[in-house]
Structure 1
């Protein structure tokens, strides 16, 4: 019997975040330094990419050099960084500067006829919902949930909990993602997993995945049963 549910991570799995989203993070960081009256620091794009997949609060607490911000101001700085980045991300989506990975639309259309598709993410709610609206993902996903929403609704505190909250039988689900956290979350609840080698994760992060793909269209040929 075919597996009834496939859960997709967003950044690095469906959305190619390497350019427009990373640019928005750089803009948000520059704005945070200005807002707090601090000397600007050069954006570390490798750090931005390395932090992709973290919960939103953790991301903005780690995606800058802590030595550039006084210790007692780092919490407020991270919150400003997150708020300004979200605004820059929404602007990028509105202006058409973000893109899904090649083959995403065709793959999602194919799978949505055979499975119940769900979208879940550690991203903040404003950005998450903007991506869904900007790329018409509501047409193929039966439900979508980000960690900020899950926490506010007391549904879940991490990705494994989110799977349990969204899926009636996690053991018959497949989780598709590009970071170790996606693979670990899936296995923690008995789901099978697909690691996306084209995303932000290293090859080592994905070794435990049940399948590994180099492009989304490969999902259409996997024996998801």
Structure 2
């Protein structure tokens, strides 16, 4: 396999913001019902760290809570996210399937490298039928370091990929590209930050722009 495009999921292919707030609200409502949380749901804090692996999310949102409570929050949050996906409350960003079709026609293999958990990613792939185009989806849980650079390296080695681009909205995606000698396409979408995107080789406002970049 010679050429590939490696995509992030949240904030790049999938509009996570459509189900994020409700799922997080439900999770913290559950914690409140158990007497494990007081006050409002820390939505703003989560938005600031959106894109990091979930263990780091709970370390930031629940720094003074036990591992048992963090695991409980993790489980409930994942369940609510999947429920919302399967109930059609989420959405792909515009033109995802058009870009995927274009890449497949050009012989470019498509992979997903995400900080999301496997069951969550599977729910998105299944609901939107993305397995028609995506060769394989990789979760950060597959690598002990929880480092996206290592996850991208795993894809390159497994499939003997010679050239690739990494497409994502956050610094971890750009860094994963640079650490592996790849080109980075930054997406100026919902959770993106300009001070991070400046480090990408290209910055796009619509996934269709990938067609002209790869041409």
> 1:181 is matched with which residue: 172, 194, 213?
172
Within a 5 Å distance, the mapping from 1:113-152 to structure 2 comes to 113-114=105-106, 115-151=108-144
Give how far 1:61 is off: 2.1
Structure-2-length-normalised TM-score: 0.90
Give the conservation status (yes or no) of the 8 Å contact 1:22–1:49: no
- Note the residue ranges of structure 1 that are not aligned, 5 or more in a row: none
Within a 5 Å distance, the mapping from 1:56-135 to structure 2 comes to 56-64=54-62, 66=63, 71=64, 73-114=65-106, 115-135=108-128
RMSD: 1.8
Within a 5 Å distance, the mapping from 1:150-165 to structure 2 comes to 150-151=143-144, 157-165=146-154
Q: Aligned residues, how many?
A: 211
Would you identify which runs of 4 or more consecutive aligned residues in structure 1 move more than 6 Å?
none
Partner of residue 26, structure 1? 25
Give how far 1:39 is off: 4.5
- Note the residue ranges of structure 2 that are not aligned, 5 or more in a row: none
Deviation string, structure 1 residues 40-62 (Cα, Å, up to 9, x no partner): 32112222222211012111222
Partner of residue 205, structure 2? 214
| 1: CA distance, partners of 2:213 / 2:189 | 17
| 2: CA distance, partners of 1:209 / 1:106 | 23
SS of 2:192's equivalent? Answer: coil
Give the conservation status (yes or no) of the 8 Å contact 2:169–2:188: yes
Give how far 1:219 is off: 0.8
Structure-1-length-normalised TM-score: 0.87
Deviation string, structure 1 residues 64-120 (Cα, Å, up to 9, x no partner): 5x4xxxx3x332222111110000011101100010011112111211222100001
Give the conservation status (yes or no) of the 8 Å contact 1:93–1:131: yes
